[in-house]
Amino acid sequence: MAARPLPDMLYAASEMFQDLDMPQPTAFGLPSDQGGKDLGIFLPIANGGWILSSTTPAIDGSYEHNRRVALLAEAIGLDFIMSMAKFRGYGGVTEHWRSSLDSLVLMSALAAQTERVKIWTTFHTLLQNPAVAAKMIATLDQVSHGRAGLNVVPGAYRGEFEQMGAWPCDLDHDQRYDLSTEWVRAVKRLWTEPSVTQHGRYFTLDDCQSEPKPVQKPRPFLVAAGMSERGMRFTVEETDAIFIGGRDDDELREVGLRAKAMARAAGRALRTYALLILVIEDSDAAADATLARFRTGFDEEAFCGMLRSYGMIDAEACRENAFTARARSGIMAPHAAGTPETITRRMIQLMEDAALDGMMLIFPDYEAGLRRFGACILPPLRAHFTHVGGAS
């Protein structure tokens, strides 16, 4: 691919990736343990999915739907399923994300229904005491026979927490990450030490005991999606993987390399994952037509509700991140649209250009999309990445 204007530091960092003494990722039974690509799905836990539109296939966010989707994801050979934690929707004609199951309860049920796929749930550090969370994830790890993972989110949507009297008005965005840092360090210690005493600014543990320990050693998988400077630092220093986003391919690559360089500087290995919505049709023109149809139903009011939720209309942050910038088109994540062959090429290009370790996939229609993905896209993808050197 053509050279891009990256800061010198990033080039230097990417050169350093070649070093033999580069930190190796902790093994979690994922393809990326050995250089392969981790592929999973963002479960449709909330109504409306990830397209702010009234002209998409209906997604009701029900347990039954999530159960069918999870079983299908496992059957076609995906590596993980993950659900978000959400407590308030964005409004609009679609009442987007008005209804959302509890992430942990859903994942625990799905852990009992599946056998192989990794089970990643989400916790808001604002809402759970770390000792409660440590025990819940240890329980999920036992239910899933060692497949549990945790997406750690600080909480950014003020209305979501204010409605339950749980918004800390005295903490700003970066301080919420300070709180998350204390939280996740406490959880890690509780998973591995017989007794934890930790006196922090936000949490106090005194001879705190948490049993059973998780099944996985050294501990369950951790992931986060810090996009800001502070959020990325938190993710790099405390977790095993980061969800990255970009307004375009160049920014995705820049963000991914920056995260890897930061991790390398901290003596850690970090996996980078991107989100991707797949619109699979029989021809590229049909896929473009489907996208155009989705755009005609764009739910402007839900989009405003989303911006407000991120503090971009009437509250603190007033800055846009890659996620909200993308959502302006009605589609809340990068997408690939076309025939299975077009999508396979696009996924390979994105993963190679941005040196990604995997992707979390979203479908407008999960069941139809997963069937087609499993039949026509996953086999050539696995073959490609096995061929180029990583276990797929």
Ligand X SMILES: Cc1cc2nc3c(=O)[nH]c(=O)nc-3n(C[C@H](O)[C@H](O)[C@H](O)COP(=O)(O)O)c2cc1C
Applying CB under 6 A, among 97, 243, 298, 373 the residue interacting with ligand X is 243
The smaller minimum CB distance to ligand X, of residues 231 and 305, is found at: 231
Q: Interface with ligand X includes 45 (CB under 6 A)?
A: no
Nearest Cα residue to 360 out of 221, 225, 216 = 225
Q: How far is the CB of 22 from ligand X (least distance, A)?
A: 25
Q: How far is the CB of 276 from ligand X (least distance, A)?
A: 11
Give the integer Cα–Cα distance in Å for 41 and 77. 11
Applying CB under 6 A, among 119, 225, 242, 262 the residue interacting with ligand X is 225
Which contacts qualify for 373-378: CB closer than 8 Å, 24 or more apart?
A: 373/76, 373/278, 373/280, 373/340, 374/72, 374/75, 374/76, 374/77, 375/76, 376/280, 376/340, 376/344, 377/278, 377/280, 377/340, 377/343, 377/344, 377/347, 378/39, 378/76, 378/77, 378/78
Applying CB under 6 A, among 76, 85, 126, 184 the residue interacting with ligand X is 85
Give the integer Cα–Cα distance in Å for 116 and 277. 24
- List, in sequence order, every residue forming a beta bridge with 39; answer none if it has no partner: 359
Q: How far is the CB of 282 from ligand X (least distance, A)?
A: 29
From 19-27, 147-155, 202-210, 283-291, span contacting ligand X (CB under 6 A): 147-155
The smaller minimum CB distance to ligand X, of residues 311 and 380, is found at: 311
Q: Interface with ligand X includes 226 (CB under 6 A)?
A: yes
Applying CB under 6 A, among 104, 255, 257, 275 the residue interacting with ligand X is 275
Q: Interface with ligand X includes 153 (CB under 6 A)?
A: yes
The smaller minimum CB distance to ligand X, of residues 72 and 153, is found at: 153
Q: How far is the CB of 138 from ligand X (least distance, A)?
A: 20
Q: Interface with ligand X includes 84 (CB under 6 A)?
A: yes
Measured between alpha carbons, how far is residue 226 from residues 74, 103, 185, 202, 279 in Å? 28, 19, 17, 20, 27
Applying CB under 6 A, among 40, 48, 155, 358 the residue interacting with ligand X is 155
Q: Which residue is nearest to ligand X (CB)?
A: 231
Question: Pairing mode, if any, of strands 196-199 and 204-208?
Answer: antiparallel
Residues that bind ligand X (CB under 6 A): 84-86, 122, 151, 153, 155-157, 225-228, 231, 243, 245, 275, 321, 323
